[in-house]
Structure 1
Amino acid sequence: MSKNNDIVVELLICDGSGIKLPQHAQKTLSLAERQRLEAMAHPRQASLFLLGRFLLRHWLGRRLEQDPAGIDIRIDAGGKPAPADPDWHFSISHSGDWLALALARGAEIGLDLECRQLDPPRIQRLARRYFSRAEQHWLAQSPDPAQDFLRLWTVKEAVLKAEGGGIANNLQRVRWRPGDTRARLEHSTYRLYPFAPAPARLTLAVAGSPAGRPRLCRAEDLYAGLEITGPQPNLSINP
């Protein structure tokens, strides 16, 4: 892994319902990705999968100076996809029509995007099942439990995705105190970057101590041939 001051992280957040891909988009995917796409029964899920992998391959193609269709993306023993080049890492998440994609050099990353609007009874059920007693108490005292639940949930999922071990029965392993910029998973520390483009909430977790904030990108920055048909989030963070 690169030194911390060499860690480079880039982040895209977009509304997939307002983006039209070129007709040849599927040709950029690998055979395994096309087979996975064809097996998806839900049209929106399939659309976001195609958008995410298409943009990822073009993004990696620029960084690695390779043909996007020829980039080797492998699945590790824990089921986490990653480029064959060990210095590069990515994470993709989607919820509703929204898609988030992060790319990093020199550090493991994970992100989680949530657009769900949960009612109080469901929040309580999920909290009892997945959160510690202290976390449940914090939510019970919150003036906005719906938003704070998503804050906590996205932190935990993002860290577990970065670690690569999967989220099943693992959410309580992630330790985070509200307001802290870091979370811990056993002996590893992750820097957290929260974003809240309405109606979504997103957390990006980066292993180690990156020197700066992620660089935010637009979908058309990754592939100039996109047709933007609807409004996209503008977080107005980068100059």
Structure 2
Amino acid sequence: MLHLFGGPIGAPEALKVLEQGGKVLDVGCGPGSWIKQVANLYPKCKAFATDFAPTYSPVQVGDAAKVEFQVGDVLKSLPYNDGSFDFVQMRFFTGALKAHEWVPAVKEVYRVVKPGGWVQLIEPDGELRCRNGESADITDWNTRGMRGSLLKRGGDPLAGTRLDKFMAEAGFDSSTIRVDIASVPVDAKAGPLGALMEHDYLALVQTLAPILGPSWGITADEMVNWGKRIVHKCSEHQAFHNFVCAVARKSEKQST
């Protein structure tokens, strides 16, 4: 995902600030792959990362990246003062947030970015699409699988298609909101990116299976096997996922 949108930073306007030592935050950082890359690309920037659990993997010896990690929950209060960062990223929260939690989460990101600073949100759009004919299995997966399971839990599997709306409601300057879409094959035969996406998709199904399986009265193992069958169908029908990157700037006149 780091290379889908021409690099880790989707707002070229923010690059100069990072090159000169600006502060950047990764919300929901996981092991920290994105923030480490940013810290290596812009060694003068001050890099921070947060997640609701201590998921961040310590920097390896010899890695130039220096990242300060703190546990924090975007739905409660991130452990940072108002207007602390020049650039903030939040990505892959579709499986974590309920539908009604999106705007409060983006408002919390809005709080910690500086006036004039930028925010980047990246999410899948929630639907597998086919280039080579229709697939009843993939249609069923779209309806009942990941998407249907998220709906049963009160989530919004199509949140990626509404990122600009969430940003506007959170207070960002609407004239600065930009949306970019990248299509990624879920098929190892389609090349390195397709192989990576296939691997990541199966890993995601395996991670979420204990939560999503019970939604349909099946075990986690049955959910994983269902996902594997779908990935096989993805190759047969040249299926792909769209990912959405939305960036927005906080008005310089707004202080919180």
Tell whether the structures are fold-level matches, with TM greater than 0.5.
no
Q: TM-score, normalization: structure 1?
A: 0.29
* TM score, norm. by length of structure 2: 0.28
Instruction: Report which of the two structures shows the higher radius of gyration computed on alpha carbons.
Output: 2
Relative to its length, the structure with more helix (as a share) is 2
